């Protein structure tokens, strides 16, 4: 069952949204306070399929800041603003902060459901695609790769496995990105040397091998036989899907 988190100080609006989504077989988590909602998002970010939020709150944490806080926790989850605020400047600020959509109150039931479903489909397509996926928010473009249970944020040089964040060195990030762009193909050590190290750098094959061993550990590819980064004897490495 899909889960959606709804935040609005207007209790009637909360009830209407909850009723609407439950009719479509969504599990609804409802909150009238953005700070309370944030604590749940931190705990259950991987369980949520979408967030619906107002912008206008009496709390110190304003709607725009709330969106930014969500995005600092999770870059992907669809955020739909459903608000009575009609100023274009506010709409733009919401989208710039990281919201995926903005719907004015009073809203159409069919429209809000259709928009959320469209955003969920987009995320599922990205997750199911082993190619480089680019999730774009205004003023932000981030390249993301998926290998097994590991999600790689190349722009941040970071791997996320569950709730664990593991950082890559610059060279590890470059090697992994090169393998990822050429997945299914053999990437020679010579190619890595030419593309990643400068011509005047002293680098041996052993340096590359050591970096690959470290990458395998960080993506969780630690079995006796590597599932994803295969060694091609005498040549280099190949990134493959799990066999």
Mean pLDDT confidence for 134-160:
70
3-state secondary structure of 12: helix
Domains of the chain, start order:
3-127 (3.40.50.2300), 141-239 (1.10.10.10)
The tokens for 220 are 């969780």
> Going by DSSP bridges, is the β-strand pair 79-83/101-104 parallel, antiparallel, or unpaired?
parallel
pTM of the full predicted structure? Answer: 0.55
State whether residue 16 is helix, strand or coil: helix
> What's the confidence (pLDDT) of residue 69?
92
The H-or-E segment that residue 11 falls in is helix 11-23
**Cross-strand bridge partners of residue 140:** 137
How far apart (Å, rounded) are the C-alpha atoms in residues 85 and 104? Answer: 7
- A 10 A CB-CB count for 94 gives 25
149-184 per-position pLDDT tens digit: 899 988 888 899 988 889 888 788 889 999 998 989
Pairing of strands 101-104, 140-147: unpaired
Residue 142 pLDDT level (bands cut at 50, 70, 90):
very low
Helix 88-97 with 63-73: angle, nearest 10 deg: 20
What does the pLDDT read at residue 85?
Answer: 86
């Amino acid at each position: 069952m899909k889960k959606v988190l709804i935040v609005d100080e207007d209790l009637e609006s909360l009830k209407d949204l909850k009723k609407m989504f439950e009719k479509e077989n969504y599990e609804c988590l409802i909150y009238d306070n953005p700070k309370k909602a944030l604590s749940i998002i931190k705990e259950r970010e991987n369980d949520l399929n979408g967030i619906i939020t107002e912008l206008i709150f009496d709390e110190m944490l304003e709607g725009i800041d709330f969106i930014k806080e969500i995005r600092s926790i999770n870059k992907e989850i669809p955020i739909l603003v459903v608000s009575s605020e009609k100023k274009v400047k506010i709409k733009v600020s919401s989208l710039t902060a990281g919201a995926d959509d903005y719907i004015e109150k009073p809203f159409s039931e069919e429209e809000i459901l259709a928009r959320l479903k469209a955003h969920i489909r987009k995320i599922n397509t990205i997750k199911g695609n082993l190619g480089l996926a680019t999730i774009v928010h205004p003023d932000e473009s981030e390249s993301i790769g998926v290998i097994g249970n590991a999600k790689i944020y190349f722009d941040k040089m970071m791997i996320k496995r569950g709730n664990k964040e593991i950082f890559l060195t610059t060279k590890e990030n470059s090697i992994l990105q090169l393998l990822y762009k050429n997945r299914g193909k053999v990437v020679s050590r010579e190619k890595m040397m030419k593309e990643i190290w400068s011509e005047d750098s002293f680098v041996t094959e052993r340096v590359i091998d050591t970096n690959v061993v470290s990458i395998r550990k960080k993506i969780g590819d630690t079995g006796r036989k590597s599932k994803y980064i295969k060694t091609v004897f005498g040549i280099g490495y190949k990134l493959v899907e799990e066999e």
